[in-house]
Amino acid sequence: MMKLLQLKLLMCLACIGISNVIVAQEVTGKVVDDTGSVPGVSVLVKGTAVGTTTNFEGEYSLKADIGATLVFSYVGYDTKEVVVSGSVVNVTMTAGVALDAVVLLGNRAKPRTLLDSPVPIDNIGVEELTGGGQPTIEAMLTFKVPSFNAQTQAIADATAHYDPADLRGLGPSRTLVLINGKRKNQSAQVYLNRTPGKGEVGVDLKSIPTAAIERVEILRDGASAQYGSDAIAGVINMVLKKDAQFSTFSAKSGLTTDGDGFNFATDFNTTLGFGEGGSINLTLGYYNQSHTNRAGVVDVDAEGATRDYEIEWLANNPKAGMTVGQPDLEKGDVFVNISHPVGESSEFYSFNGYTLRTGKSFAYYRAPYWRQDVADAQFLTPTEDFEGYQPTFEARIKDHINSMGLKMDLGNNWFADASVTYGRNSVSYTVNNSVNRDYLAEHGTSPTSFEPGGYSLSNIIGNLDFSSVFTEMISASFGLEYKIEYFEAVEGEPLSYYGAGSDSFAGIKPEEAGKWDRNNLGVYAGLDFDITESLLLGIAGRYEDFSDFGDNFSWKIFGRQKLGANGAIRASYSTGFRAPTLHQRFLTNSQYIIVAGSSEPLLQGTLANNNPAVEALGVPNLFAETSKNIAAGITYKFNSNFYASLDFYQINVDDRVLFSSQIGSDSDDTTTNPVEQILAENGVTAVQFFINAGDTKTTGLDIVLNYDNIDLGSAILNVNLAANFNETTIDAINTPDDLAANGYDIFERIEQGLITNSRPKSKIILGIDYIADKFNVGLYNTMFGEVTITSPLGEEFDQDLSSKVATDLSLSYHFTDKLSITGILNNIFDVYPDETLASTGTAEAASRFTYSSEVQQLGQLGTNFSIGFNYKF
């Protein structure tokens, strides 16, 4: 009955009719600034959803009545409002603050400015993103958006090539990523190692080249009722360039002051004409980076070397051969964004992106005294000459997204958008410089290179969206989405899984390989009431039905009250959900991992959630996480250059999907409990599985202060201060009865620490830009707050890592309006995290790892510098 009422509510919202017919004339014009034409400017008829953007020449055309008001907005410019008095309206834009920019994110029916929006939205232009000198989009956002975090993970198998990213500390799975408003497919890789986001799946942000992006919109509020699964923490929308004013070529190269981590990047972006009034924006990109090494010095007495040649080897190799840092990486990108008018009132669009990258990270060095069996086999070298070996984990990652659709003006102020999107991410592995120890023992030889298999995830999404502005008071949107997802685990070559498998990473066995799919249908509707020019109230609802676990209905209410012409208070309350991924439902594998307290990597097995052995423990099939989000804030524009905002949020997530602790043998050697029987049957040291078991609460505060265009005579000054303060607590861990009865803790405190303590509890960013005629200077300070290493030995052995400040300096010189050169020093004071204490008992603390591999603040690069140039033509 409840589901029927929910569907009726959605259908009622969808069936609202209108009788007014808008009669309008054709209005054309051109938008310029003090340097020339401005493409990409949003032009809207105020109070309606009628709008367009300026083309390559800054020109536009739309229909509007005499007396209507046109709103012109673009990131970095003051919004202009001009009353239509004839058929031609030309506008000159002037620099201003981003608060006036119109954004589409968060409202499908009636585009609003950031000041008008009932929820907090960041609108960040690409020049602002690239100004800090970070190499990739996830790194740029980390040093620009206080509540966004991502860092490279060392010694983390495939996770080292993805850099798990999250918003508001809620893990990678709970942020929805869009490109041009269309859902981006997630990555094929589950983050299984002990890193932030362990057990989760995120979007492969490295697959989106910065050169293709015009701006990034970040909605910092729960939005499942509007956009569906994953939007618990918020939504990130990558808006691609459409009509660029110039063709642009850039190149940059850098190095760390330790002499490693060399990187080189180059990209090209241009806009080409297409048919009658169409355009193709093309981006080509290439990036290459070398690995870094920040390994520590091992404790000789604790290493276990016994033979003379082993002791001598360790004396000559105080870092025990370890390589701890960012991986080698090489990638190429191709992105195109296409649009073409269809008739007088519709537009065909398509965007297509393809990224191929390869990477090499490093496993633990297999020291001679760790691999005595390999030494004795005299396979690689004579025993007395054996120096061990370091396996490499090499990944080949392909990511592509293809979307096409048609935006239609249906008349009478009705609009429709029909689209189909296909996305796919795949990863294949190679393990080099390794051996299969079991095969070696039985046959006296072994390969040294293995192909352990890989994974792929793809989806096909169909969207049909409708919107209308019925009156200046009432606007609505509704639509449906149908999605099919496919997940595949590809079997490795036989010798990669023979016995215990290739050393450091065992291949995917035949029984672990397979293909799985599911589909879901979503129906949504939203209604906005501009009760007065100052007061806005709105409601949204979304129903989704998944073929593999069931359905969900999420809803949202929100409001905004303007404070005069320059300010507003806003609030929202919503429910949300996140569907468990296909990876989490069906992943089965076994691999060697490092376990605290063991000097040897141990074999552990992950069994699928629907495996009979897991079901026998009372673990139910996975179902959707649900959330309750409450937010309230205030924003105010003090003048055309200065604005501030303050937003509070609380997010409760129930039935959070957890990747369990290793469930192994208990301390009772006299009897065998049911869990031990499962371990024996599967031939592994420990079992892990995914389970809906956690209830968490995240509270936080976002602060933004922007003072731009401060006139200094011959130059201007921009000062920006942003901060995030947050805390996540675990309210409950729900353990199945059979496991609880046998004394098992399914989510130990060291696993809980990855949720509560592995990301900074605060981040404060202060940016100062001095912009003169010929040169620009940028000074950026980012304070990463405290994190805590959670010790497996008990709370008294935990270690708090103090706050750290990274300072970046950028200097650009413009030889001409088209040619510029930029030098950047990142982390100029060579700041590193606190060194990890051995007393924490975490894996190889204060030995192979000088800095924690489990919690992250500002990374482990130290000072690095780069120089690059940019040419426009």
Q: What is the pLDDT of residues 527-551, one digit of tens each?
A: 999 999 899 999 999 999 999 999 9
Pairwise CA distance, residues 622 & 618, whole Å: 12
Q: What beta strand segments (E) does 684-761 contain?
A: 686-688, 690-711, 715-733
CA distances from 71 to 87, 384, 437, 530, 532 (A): 16, 79, 69, 18, 19
Question: Could you report the per-residue pLDDT of 293-317, keeping only the tens digit for each?
Answer: 999 998 777 787 888 888 888 889 9
* Cβ–Cβ under 8 Å, residues 796 and 753: no
Taking domain 19-95, whether its CATH number is 2.60.40.1120 is answered by yes
Report the chain's mean pLDDT, rounded to a whole number. 90
Question: Could you report the per-residue pLDDT of 114-129, keeping only the tens digit for each?
Answer: 788 899 999 999 989 9
Q: Provide mean pLDDT across the span 249-275.
A: 96
What are the structure tokens assigned to 691, written together? 């389970």
Question: Could you report the per-residue pLDDT of 769-814, keeping only the tens digit for each?
Answer: 999 999 999 999 999 999 999 999 999 999 999 999 999 999 999 9
Question: Domain extents for the chain?
Answer: 19-95, 96-872
CA distances from 544 to 111, 221, 585, 625 (A): 25, 20, 18, 13
The two beta strands, 25-33 and 91-92, are parallel
This model's pTM is above 0.75: yes
- Answer yes or no: is pLDDT of 394 > 50: yes
Place domain 96-872 in its CATH homologous superfamily: TonB-dependent receptor, beta-barrel domain (2.40.170.20)
- Interacting residues of 756 by C-beta distance below 8 A, sequence separation 6+: 728, 729, 730
**For residue 756, what is the enclosing H or E element?**
helix 749-756
Question: Could you report the per-residue pLDDT of 689-736, keeping only the tens digit for each?
Answer: 999 999 999 999 999 999 988 989 889 999 999 999 999 999 999 999
Question: Could you report the per-residue pLDDT of 557-616, keeping only the tens digit for each?
Answer: 999 999 988 899 999 999 999 999 999 999 998 766 555 555 565 556 888 988 888 888
Q: Residue 1 has what pLDDT?
A: 43
Centre a 10 Å sphere on the Cβ of residue 680 and count the other Cβ atoms it contains: 11
* Cβ–Cβ under 8 Å, residues 732 and 694: yes
